[in-house]
């Protein structure tokens, strides 16, 4: 059994704060300062350029990819880390389209995270060969998977409501008509059990700064099914993906049959040191235990809010099996109310138009935290504290 009291003490959360926003940015692991200082003083300072060999920086995209891959059921050699999630979305969708050159439909849904759709729009503009992006309602996506579709691009867990797609059903339907699927696991990895290999996923991408706690702008990752590694096209053909990067050939030759072909350019080794410290915490975590505790905590939050906080309406699926690891409530004055909560040390966030969002992160969140947060929210609503003018003006980041 996973000892969550032990993992709680591995994070540096300010005293008196109840942090319910790990679905947006995870808190700092206590090991992070030592990790970054070790990189600075024991690697960069002493090794300089030699570190690419002596500290194995050149292969960290792969070694960290394998460590991270364990959390989503990826076999060794199928995941690399680096770049941003937006770049990885572009890379994965472009590779998926190259596998179906005669098809022109990219299928997503209207609940997908907007940047995923923006990246696809940009890709379609570059290709300019008549691609079409279709975005039906999330619950209707299965009905729209037809033989016209080249690839299905979906975020497994909806960033607003927490609604969870049935990825196994989507993959099965897509494969039955000759399409591929690109998963965005930004709100899945580190939040719910994921099995990319067992579900026969084609591609998966995600970030590490949410539930994985690698810090703001932590590196992204991409997974490619081993059965595709000898044929997938690295459209973003950077030198780290070359068969012989230090031969400095003028023409690109992708690394044959390896996930290395999905590397792009020089990664941030400093950021890798923080990711490594964050992944150390996960070595003692069983994902089934995590899921069980997440459901317990989320059910406690829902029950508490519905009993004590009139005016808030559950915006997430009520069945815990149908949602990820954050819970959303609709409230007409959600932004101001969230600012009032934050002012009292309960950190959640707001998503337009009226969603108050709370991350359920068992690594450091307890039932006592949930109960205390509900009581503070109830007092804010009762006293109408959110009406204060200081809570009305929207900040740049909500």
In angstroms, what CA-CA distances link 224 with 70, 79, 143, 229? 14, 7, 26, 7
Q: Do residues 80 and 222 touch, judged by C-beta distance below 8 A?
A: yes
Helices (H), the chain: 4-8, 32-38, 45-47, 51-54, 60-69, 85-98, 114-127, 167-176, 269-282, 287-308, 334-343, 367-383
From 88, 263, 323, 357, the catalytic residue: 357
Q: Is 384 labeled as catalytic in the residue annotation?
A: no
Would you call 210 a catalytic residue per the annotation? yes
| Local structure of residue 157 (DSSP, 8 states) | B
Helical residues (DSSP H) of 79-216, grouped into ranges:
85-98, 114-127, 167-176
Question: How many CA atoms are closer than 13 Å to the CA of 194, on its beta-carbon side?
Answer: 32
Is 375 among the residues known to form the active site? no
Catalytic residue, from 116, 158, 184, 260: name it: 184
Residue 227 annotated as catalytic: no
| Catalytic choice (88, 210, 291, 293) | 210
**Side-chain-facing half-sphere of 286: CA atoms under 13 Å:** 7
- Cα–Cα distance, 52 to 70 (Å, whole number): 25
What's the count of helices (H) and strands (E) in the chain, helices before strands?
A: 12, 13
* Chain centre to alpha carbon of residue 376: 29
Six token digits for residue 226: 């081993």
Residue with tokens 């279709």: 134
Tally of residues, the chain = 398
Q: Catalytic one among 131, 209, 221, 335?
A: 209
Residue 11: closest CA among 31, 25, 35: 31
* CA dihedral sign of residues 135, 141, 145, 150: positive
Q: Which of 19, 113, 223, 272 is catalytic?
A: 113
The answer to whether 184 is a known catalytic residue is yes
Q: Which residues are catalytic?
A: 113, 184, 209-210, 357
């Amino acid at each position: 059994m996973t000892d969550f009291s032990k993992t709680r003490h591995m994070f540096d959360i300010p005293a008196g704060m109840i942090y319910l926003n790990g679905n947006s940015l995870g808190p700092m692991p206590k090991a992070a300062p030592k990790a970054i200082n070790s990189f600075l003083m024991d690697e960069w300072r002493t090794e300089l350029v030699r570190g690419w060999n002596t500290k194995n920086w050149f292969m960290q995209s792969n070694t960290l990819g394998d460590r991270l891959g364990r959390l989503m059921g990826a076999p060794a050699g199928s995941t690399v880390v680096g770049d941003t999630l937006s770049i990885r979305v572009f890379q994965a969708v472009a590779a998926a389209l190259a596998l179906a050159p005669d098809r022109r439909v990219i299928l997503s849904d209207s609940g997908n995270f907007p940047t995923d759709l923006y990246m696809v729009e940009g890709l379609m503009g570059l290709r300019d060969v008549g691609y079409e992006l279709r975005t039906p309602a999330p619950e209707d996506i299965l009905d729209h998977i037809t033989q016209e579709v080249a690839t299905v691009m979906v975020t497994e867990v909806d960033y607003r409501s927490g609604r969870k797609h049935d990825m196994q059903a989507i993959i099965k339907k897509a494969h039955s008509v000759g399409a591929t699927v690109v998963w965005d696991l930004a709100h899945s990895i580190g939040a719910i059990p994921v099995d990319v290999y067992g579900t026969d996923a084609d591609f998966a991408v995600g970030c590490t700064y949410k539930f994985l706690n690698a810090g703001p702008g932590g590196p992204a990752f991409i997974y490619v099914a081993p059965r595709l590694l000898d044929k997938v096209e690295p459209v973003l053909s950077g030198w780290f993906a070359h068969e012989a990067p230090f031969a400095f050939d003028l023409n690109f030759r992708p690394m044959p049959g390896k996930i290395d072909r999905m590397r792009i350019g020089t990664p941030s080794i400093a950021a890798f040191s923080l990711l490594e410290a964050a992944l150390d915490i996960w070595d003692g975590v069983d994902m089934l235990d995590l899921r069980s505790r997440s459901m317990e905590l989320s059910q406690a939050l829902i029950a508490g809010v519905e009993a004590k906080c009139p005016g808030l309406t559950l915006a997430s699926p009520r069945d815990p099996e149908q949602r990820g690891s954050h819970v959303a409530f609709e409230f007409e004055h959600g932004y101001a109310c969230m600012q009032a909560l934050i002012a009292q040390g309960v950190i959640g966030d707001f998503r337009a138009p009226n969603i108050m969002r709370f991350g359920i992160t068992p690594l450091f969140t307890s039932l006592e935290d949930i109960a205390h947060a509900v009581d503070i929210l109830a007092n804010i609503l009762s006293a109408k504290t959110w009406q204060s003018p200081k809570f009305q003006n929207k900040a740049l980041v909500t």
